[in-house]
Chains A and B, each alone.
Chain A
Amino acid sequence: MARHVVAPAGDIPPGARKLVQVNGRAVVVFNLGGEFFALNNRCPHRGGSLCDGVTTGLIQSSEPGHYQYSRRGEIIRCPWHSWEFDIRTGQSWCDPGKVKTRRYQVTVEQGAMLVEGPYKAETFPVSIENEYVVVEA
């Protein structure tokens, strides 16, 4: 498993997402309040591009007439059929056992660490002063 420098951390502020290419695969990286998560961009239901979806919260109901809205911004809905996926796990809400999108490990690392290591960023220069998002795939 290789580690890929996919973006300067500042390119993906909290609440934002960015589509990147890792090993020829489209991967979408999310920033949830400073925590980074990466999912395979292809919706496991029918192939929509998750990066083009909207984020929402988790809507639940304990009984008819009572509703709870939590985890604002942590659910991505596919732009085609609106399947909901938990950005933290890649699991779908309706069929978490079977329909899930692959999740990748993400870290944020100092440029100083990266320029000396076995890392390579293909499309932008890595400077030692900045932080970078690294996806393991």
Chain B
Amino acid sequence: MNIEVRQPSRATKTRYGIVDCDIHPKLLIEDYRKHLSNQWWSYLQTYGIRPRHGFTKAYPMPKITPQAARRDAWPPDGGLPGSDLGFLREQLLDLYHMDYGILNPLQPTGQGDQNPEFSAAMAFAANEQQLERWTSHEKRLKASVVVPYENPEASTAEIKRRAGSKDFAQVFMLSRTAEAHGRRRYWPIYEAAVEAGLPVGIHVFGYSGWSMTNSGWPSFYIEEMTEHATGQQAVVASMIFEGLFEQYRDLKVVLIESGFGWLPALGWRLDKHWERMRDDVPHVKRPPSEYIREHFWVSTQPMEEAEEPEHVIDAMRWIGFDRILFASDYPHWDFDDPVLALPPSLTEEQRRMIYSDNAKKLYGLA
């Protein structure tokens, strides 16, 4: 018996030409062979990926499901979740009538690796694979420029290499870096992104070598999930207070997979402190919330699920409905289904902006 689990009518409810701003293609170790030099391929085999973290060969813990994936995202023809373009079309792009999807590859990409030259070689290979395995076969998909962010010089070279290509939508960093994101060592990356006309997407995760909280390592995975949002708060504060946006007036930053309900409260607090301690950071010339509203975009997933949906809408209003981008996080377990993700009381126009228009404008999609 062939059972149709999902009624097609559900998908047609979201005919806004959705842009999904967080899709995770699984890059496969064996595919790196072709795009790494003999030396780096040999290095990968011999020493492997070494992030700034105690656990070098594996996840630091199992993450609720195998591959942290939806249990129904394993391709029927075999392989890992997110590794099969045909199945990704069927389960995501076609099902929800998506116009575009932004690819955000996670490990193995060599981001944050302790060996800066190896990290650069892996990032180049990850970008080549996105073209070869994904965007060249599916024009709805746009790649992200994976940069070896602890090696800013190589990151800049990688951004310049991809600049002007219609296949790349943004520069891709992770939220947990060796130093705070606003520090000057990373400025060449932001400068290159601005020159290339690309936003910088900062996706949660990465192994910084530092604990996630300022009182050490949390005991539970549930705390790790929660601390991603506080990590992004540090990203926002650092970028503003280091004066990054005074230096790079056209820099656009997308905060990915950290929700957004916390952003208004952060803005209030930053403004309050700035009013009293402005002379601590005289290069910050305007209230911090103004920089937030000018330079940051947020993605929806993991969507806030407040008891009162109106509270979520209040937070959206503070951030600006033009600054919110729909993201599903496919194929991961905390996937947000576009049909049900947004509060039902949003207006048609607000829905259209969040599902489609904002991302098309930001990423320069047709």
Known: A47-B339, A48-B72. 7 other contacts (CB 8 A): A46-B340, A47-B340, A52-B71, A79-B70, A80-B333, A80-B334, A123-B1
The smallest C-beta distance from B95 to any residue of chain A, in angstroms, reads 12
Report how many A-B pairs have Cβ atoms within 8 Å: 47
Docked complex: B283-340 residues within 8 A CB-CB of A: 333-337, 339-340
Classify chain B's interface size: 10 to 19
A46–B339 alpha-carbon span in the complex (Å): 9
Dominant secondary structure of chain B at its interface with chain A: loop
Is B165 an interface residue when CB atoms closer than 8 A count as contact?
Answer: no
A52–B65 alpha-carbon span in the complex (Å): 13
Q: Tell which of B3, B4, B333, B339 has the most Cβ of chain A within 10 Å.
A: B3
Is A49 an interface residue when CB atoms closer than 8 A count as contact?
Answer: yes
- Are the CB atoms of A51 and B5 closer together than 8 Å? yes
- Are the CB atoms of A54 and B3 closer together than 8 Å? no
- Are the CB atoms of A80 and B1 closer together than 8 Å? no
Docked complex: B209-240 residues within 8 A CB-CB of A: none
A19–B6 alpha-carbon span in the complex (Å): 13
Tally of chain A residues near chain B (CB < 8 A) = 19
B333 contact set on A, CB distance < 8 A: 80-82
- Are the CB atoms of A19 and B336 closer together than 8 Å? no
A110–B55 alpha-carbon span in the complex (Å): 57
Give which listed residue, A26, A53, A82, contacts B64 with CB less than 8 A.
Answer: A82
Residues 2-32 of B, flagged 1 when their CB comes within 8 A of A and 0 if not, give: 0111100010000000000000000000000
Residue of B nearest to A54 (CB): B71
Residue of A nearest to B64 (CB): A82
Residue of A nearest to B4 (CB): A26
Q: List 29 A-B contacts (CB under 8 A).
A: A19-B3, A19-B5, A20-B3, A26-B3, A26-B4, A26-B5, A41-B5, A46-B340, A46-B341, A47-B10, A47-B340, A48-B70, A48-B72, A49-B5, A49-B72, A51-B5, A52-B71, A52-B72, A79-B70, A79-B71, A80-B71, A80-B72, A80-B333, A80-B334, A80-B335, A81-B333, A81-B335, A82-B65, A123-B1
